[in-house]
Structure 1
Amino acid sequence: MTTPEPLIALAGIRRAFTQGGVTSEVLRGISLTIHAGEFVAIVGQSGSGKSTLMNILGLLDSPTGGTYRFAGQDVSSLSREAQAELRREVFGFVFQRYHLLPGVSARANAQLPAVYAGMGGEARERRAAALLERLGLGDHLDHRPDQLSGGQQQRVSIARALMNGGEVILADEPTGALDSASGGAVMDLLRELAAEGHTVILITHDPAVACIARRVVEIRDGVIVGDSGDGEATQPPPAPAARPERHAPALFALSEALRSALTALAGNPFRTALTLLGVVIGTASVIAMLAIGEGTRRQVLARAAATGTDWIVVMPDNDNPALPGGRMTLADAQALAMLPNVKAVNPGRWTTVTLTAGAVSVRSEAFGTSIAYPETFRWTTRKGAFFTAEDDRAGAPVMVLGATVAARLLPGVADPSGRYVLANGIPFLVTGVLEPKGPDERGMDRDDRVVLPLSTAASRLIGSSDLGGIQVTVKDTGHLAETKRHVRETLLARHRMEDFFINDMASRIAELAQTQSAMAGLLAVIASVSLLVGGIGVMNIMLMSVTERTREIGIRMAVGASGRDILSQFLAEAMILAGAGGVAGLALGLAVGVGAAVAMDLSVVFQLKAIALALAGAVGTGLLFGYMPAGRAARLDPVQALARE
């Protein structure tokens, strides 16, 4: 009869550990073959190397010498991911200390290997329940480990070992922490599994426990000193139970990632809340600052556009008319009025005046202009009427008050029309009050002014007919650039030098929009700094979490979690943490924005794009700052992680 190839073949396996510069060899050339279906007990005293051997057999540890072939394949050629897949698909571990996840039910512990194998949720639930019922735990499915006895916890670990089929059961001192009755029950279970076709490898220091195995291998000081069998199958082993149906293994089941993340975060709510605070403040700052910045931008642009975008302004390039050039006259305005596409021309000149009415005196700006003022600036009178063309031709001492001036100069007077006020000591008749406009894009009060005929301002207040500027209203804004060119050419021909500059409201508004957008972006960048600080907090708590949960990571690796699975889990935790902070920050940011609008009379505009950007930034911060801790967790050595308290 042809001897079948051994399932496990060890040749010259060595394992040395170095600590503090001192190297000690635990395994000293182990050669061992085990066939499928065998029930083998590896027995030896503490320190003999039997647990180290089991860790190597279960791919939790790697030898420093020799070869290990499983089903004919050299396992040293397998990547960490491939070794994790082999642990997940073939091996089932039963540990002396059970190594169950705290805080979750027996059912959840039992089905953990199937999560990494890609088994569907309902199928996992059914199989875990069936295994636990078979092991006498049908009434304890939802009990946590701290609600179970030692024997019950060990049976849960056996159910977990069988979850993915458990072709090879590795039991490390499975009765070491149990009383005799519970220990006997566990050994009976292992005997039954061996009879069903599972390959069972039992690690024990107790010869009485080892004697139930069909084969006993004794190890002492890192070498095999006795073997009751020759390592060959004497008869075909019974066929093991069929593996449960499952899908292709995924990186990590989302439901398990979410459950694990929420459990971990809920375990220390105060620390979690403090960590969330940084993300909450950062997200709220971004949302509130973007909303305030956008509201301010729109408000500024609305104020700038309130006077229309269909006009061009021409200003002298020298404020001192005594110097050569830099003068602009009514003749210039008349020449510009003759250009094509020009609807109206409004010349003007500013000066400062002292206004007096009774015992009240105020300082304000006076604007000498033409009757085209209301049309050019889209600014009508609220009370009374604007001055007339006749007033302008006659240089009549009349003026129209801005709303702020009227309120300060003539408080309590509903309609100042028909009253006289003094401007620099000269009496002027008030013909009306302008509609209030509020502050301009620079925050200046546009209602703090008076308007009077240009001829009156020149003769009575300024003493010069030179203009401070000309506003040219166009008929068709589609030809605005062409009209600007005509204005420039006309003035160059008249002045023989470019002692003026030209601007238009459309360009001005575009410049304002660019400036305001830059300001809003700067506010967002400043606010994002706090979000980065929150991200650093996420990284800190995740590093602490990896340290505190090292043994849990080892358990997950032992049942088949790959490095990618662990990476996905901790990244999911970081993103959930940051995402929760982002949602809370959204609520806070909305509240701050609304509060600013009410308390400070600010214009606040919440944009869906900005909100989505802030939330994405929060989650992205969790992803970015969670990657290093997650990568650290994924690189942990399984056997060292399991040994961590």
Structure 2
Amino acid sequence: MSLPLIELRDIRKVYGGVDAPEVEVLRGVSLSIHPGEFVAIVGSSGSGKSTLMNVLGCLDRPTSGSYRFAGKDVAELNVDELAWLRREAFGFVFQGYHLIPSGSAQENVEMPAIYAGLAADARHARAAALLERLGLASRTGNRPHQLSGGQQQRVSIARALMNGGHIILADEPTGALDSHSGAQVMALLDELASQGHVIVLITHDREVAARAQRIIEVRDGQMVSDSGRVPAMPGETPAARAQGVVEVRDGQVVGVSGRKPAAPGEPPAATEHLQADDLRQRLDRGATQRGAWKGELLESLRAAWRVMWINRFRTALTLLGIVIGVASVVVMLAIGEGSKRQVMAQMAAFGSNILYLNGKHATLREAAGIVTLDDVEAIGQLPQVQRVMPVIGGELDVRHGNNNQRFYVGGNNTQFPQILNWPVVQGAFFSEADERAGAAVAVIGQKVRDKLLPPASDPIGQYLLLGNVPFQVVGILAGKGASSGDQDSDERIVVPYSAAAIRLFAKPDPEYVIIAAADSARVADSESAIDHLLRQRHQGKRDYELTNNAALIQAEARTQNSLSLMLGAIAAISLLVGGIGVMNIMLMTVRERTREIGIRMATGARQRDILRQFLSEAVMLSMVGGLSGIALALLIGAGLVLADVAVAFALSAILGAFACAVVTGVVFGFMPARQAARLDPVKALNSD
């Protein structure tokens, strides 16, 4: 006698307890099933036969007792090893078919092979061959609702055979079928039995049970009768036994009928390859094998996309939160960056490498220090200095005809356009010769022209009275705007330094000096060099002050960065709301698809396979939402550009927003996915 494939000893199953009353469904069931047997378990509704099938198929664990599969104690197997058994040894055929509604017939049949890591080409070919063998070659692309009950049941049988189906557990396979379809299904089970598959048939119909070699009756959770396993004939080998049906009468073997030979191209009988010792070795190996995670991940993504497409209206509503969140983050950061660049450009127009030098009191008791023209000349010789310009000036009454206005008049040298990045747009700037001669010439700002001169007149060549001294206009400065709230730079008149010192203000030394550093990235080095030089020239006294214009620009940049981050943080709230929406829809999806989860577990899915499946759907939702949000943000940005709003899209901001969307999917999708992975297979299968 060969080692039993299945051996139960005093199996008991109790439900309830703690807050619910205990109900003992199985009460001390003991039985053995050997290779090649066709067993029918008969009992009325509520007798415990379905619970017994769940225990046999490793969908449920007994409360007590011993269950040995191929000689190995099932109680010692972990969840992955139990999933391996369901995937490799068992094939389930349910009364309610239990097909995944969103998958085609072919996809439903292929499911066990996906979790077994079978290559896609081999998987497709085997599923197609099984469906063709069961008369469904023209229905491979149909979904379950497009198939009749008999066709759906044949699909479930093909699924049970996908990984070999060495042990077929059929729970009321004809219960939901008409008589014709039921007869077809039973004929298929007879054929599978004749080919060596172990068949365990759960039924309440004794006529159906009569098709089996062995009938076990269950009543109130106990075995009340067992027709018994057919004893081996003298000299009969296990392989020969698997090829024949032995008839027993009055406890004696009265005949052996030959089994149906294998169809052309069909593998040899299952029992020739599935003896208990062999299966135990395969179980030990299978427990340590790693699945083909790349193929499983690809299938998870395909299934996720299919579910999203089938429920596209609900998916669109869920995506809306992610889309708005990503678009808001990208647009807000773009507006913040655009504003920052605009402000920085305006400030840079006044010179980002500029330093200002002026005299100050070394102590409260001493007079303010004086920066002389000799100091200016010495500073101009430093290698860290590109240009230097003394400035003398003040506000004067300026007249043209009967029009009298008050403007700032500054004496500068010819370095003015370069050092302040302030070109002349009409006429020309005064020359070195004008500077040496102290010529009474002036270059005026845009608003000086607008306020003093007639609109249609040519300003070049006109004379203005600065104080009481006539100066001829030789050029118009480009518009520059205000660098601060209290002064408009375009209300300015520039004259040669020598003319201002002699003709207007009557003092030789500058009020302050503007210095352009040779390298805008090393303004601090230039400042140190100037400070060292002046210390030597002023006998060690710090009776002067150096200020750095670049520091002001950097401070403004930091302020703008803070504003941008604040805008992005506000926009990120909508992304958080979108993530909560993803979690909500995933929790609803898990609840709606609880039976599908049970089906996947029954066909061999491990907990991590279920986790990957639902986490893939959450990430897929977030990725699609993220890409849609980026597209929406770019469209909004184009509209803002047309409306002359400063925007600047940064690749880092776009990638960051997309990454946040994906992370949101992972974070908010993990809890529902973990909840799905931890479902009890039996409860999931029996859910509404």
Normalised TM-score (structure 1): 0.88
State the distance in 2 between where 1:83 and 1:635 align. 14
State the distance in 1 between where 2:401 and 2:596 align. 87
Map of 1:11 onto structure 2: 9
Residues 100-109 or 291-300, more deviating:
291-300
Distance 1:551 1:221, change over 3 A: same
State the distance in 2 between where 1:362 and 1:150 align. 98
Give deviations 1:257-299, integer Å, cap 9, x for gaps.
Answer: 1232122222332321122112112222233334344444444
State the distance in 1 between where 2:60 and 2:33 align. 19
Distance 1:472 1:159, change over 3 A: same
Distance 1:127 1:317, change over 3 A: farther
1:539 pairs with 2:583: yes
Of the candidates 291, 308, 311, which is equivalent to residue 268 of structure 1? 311
Letter in 2 for 1:84: A
State the distance in 2 between where 1:284 and 1:381 align. 43
State the distance in 1 between where 2:463 and 2:683 align. 96
State the distance in 1 between where 2:603 and 2:405 align. 86
Of the candidates 546, 550, 556, which is equivalent to residue 600 of structure 2? 556
Distance 1:476 1:599, change over 3 A: closer
1:449 pairs with 2:492: yes
Give deviations 1:212-243, integer Å, cap 9, x for gaps.
Answer: 11111111111111111158777622431899
Give deviations 1:112-137, integer Å, cap 9, x for gaps.
Answer: 21121122222222222221222222
Distance 1:178 1:352, change over 3 A: farther
1:594 Cα shift?
Answer: 2.2
1:386 Cα shift?
Answer: 2.7
Distance 1:70 1:334, change over 3 A: same
State the distance in 1 between where 2:332 and 2:339 align. 10
Distance 1:475 1:22, change over 3 A: closer
Q: Describe how 1:185-584 pairs up with structure 2 within 5 A.
A: 185-230=184-229, 236=238, 237-238=242-243, 239-240=269-270, 249-251=291-293, 253-306=296-349, 311-315=354-358, 328-330=370-372, 333-334=375-376, 336-337=378-379, 340-341=382-383, 342=385, 344-348=387-391, 351=394, 366-387=409-430, 398-407=441-450, 409-410=452-453, 412-413=455-456, 415-421=458-464, 429-437=472-480, 446-453=489-496, 469-473=512-516, 483-492=526-535, 494=538, 497-498=541-542, 500-504=544-548, 516-584=560-628
1:547 Cα shift?
Answer: 1.2
Map of 1:637 onto structure 2: 680
Letter in 1 for 2:216: V
State the distance in 2 between where 1:215 and 1:270 align. 52
Is the 8 Å Cα contact of residues 36 and 271 (structure 2) preserved in structure 1?
no
1:193 Cα shift?
Answer: 0.8
Q: Specify the SS of the correspondent of 2:22.
A: strand
Distance 1:394 1:42, change over 3 A: same
Give deviations 1:65-102, integer Å, cap 9, x for gaps.
Answer: 11211111112222212211211111111001011111
Residues 70-79 or 296-305, more deviating:
296-305
Question: How many residues are treated as equivalent by the alignment?
Answer: 640
Map of 1:79 onto structure 2: 78
State the distance in 2 between where 1:268 and 1:474 align. 64
Map of 1:35 onto structure 2: 34
State the distance in 1 between where 2:467 and 2:77 align. 97
State the distance in 2 between where 1:492 and 1:38 align. 107
State the distance in 1 between where 2:62 and 2:487 align. 80
State the distance in 1 between where 2:3 and 2:201 align. 21
1:545 Cα shift?
Answer: 1.0
Distance 1:437 1:105, change over 3 A: same
1:7 Cα shift?
Answer: 0.5
Give deviations 1:378-436, integer Å, cap 9, x for gaps.
Answer: 43322223345676678776532223443455463464122245668986543310134
Is the 8 Å Cα contact of residues 379 and 530 (structure 2) preserved in structure 1?
no
State the distance in 1 between where 2:86 and 2:485 align. 70
Is the 8 Å Cα contact of residues 10 and 32 (structure 1) preserved in structure 2?
yes
Is the 8 Å Cα contact of residues 358 and 371 (structure 2) preserved in structure 1?
no
Normalised TM-score (structure 2): 0.83
1:31 Cα shift?
Answer: 1.5
State the distance in 1 between where 2:572 and 2:78 align. 40
Distance 1:474 1:134, change over 3 A: closer
Is the 8 Å Cα contact of residues 371 and 544 (structure 2) preserved in structure 1?
no
Of the candidates 667, 676, 682, which is equivalent to residue 624 of structure 1? 667
Structure 1, unaligned stretches of length 5 or more?
none
1:632 Cα shift?
Answer: 1.1
Letter in 2 for 1:571: L
Is the 8 Å Cα contact of residues 101 and 143 (structure 2) preserved in structure 1?
yes
1:333 Cα shift?
Answer: 4.4
Map of 2:107 onto structure 1: 108
State the distance in 1 between where 2:487 and 2:608 align. 60
Distance 1:488 1:21, change over 3 A: same
Give deviations 1:565-624, integer Å, cap 9, x for gaps.
Answer: 11111111111111111111111111222222221341x443434333332222222122
1:373 Cα shift?
Answer: 1.5
Distance 1:103 1:436, change over 3 A: same
Distance 1:52 1:542, change over 3 A: same
Map of 1:610 onto structure 2: 653
Map of 1:169 onto structure 2: 168
Letter in 1 for 2:147: L
Is the 8 Å Cα contact of residues 15 and 23 (structure 2) preserved in structure 1?
yes
Distance 1:626 1:482, change over 3 A: closer
Is the 8 Å Cα contact of residues 114 and 124 (structure 1) preserved in structure 2?
yes
Is the 8 Å Cα contact of residues 12 and 29 (structure 2) preserved in structure 1?
yes
Is the 8 Å Cα contact of residues 96 and 172 (structure 1) preserved in structure 2?
yes
1:119 pairs with 2:118: yes
RMSD: 3.7
1:38 Cα shift?
Answer: 1.0
Structure 2, unaligned stretches of length 5 or more?
244-268, 275-285
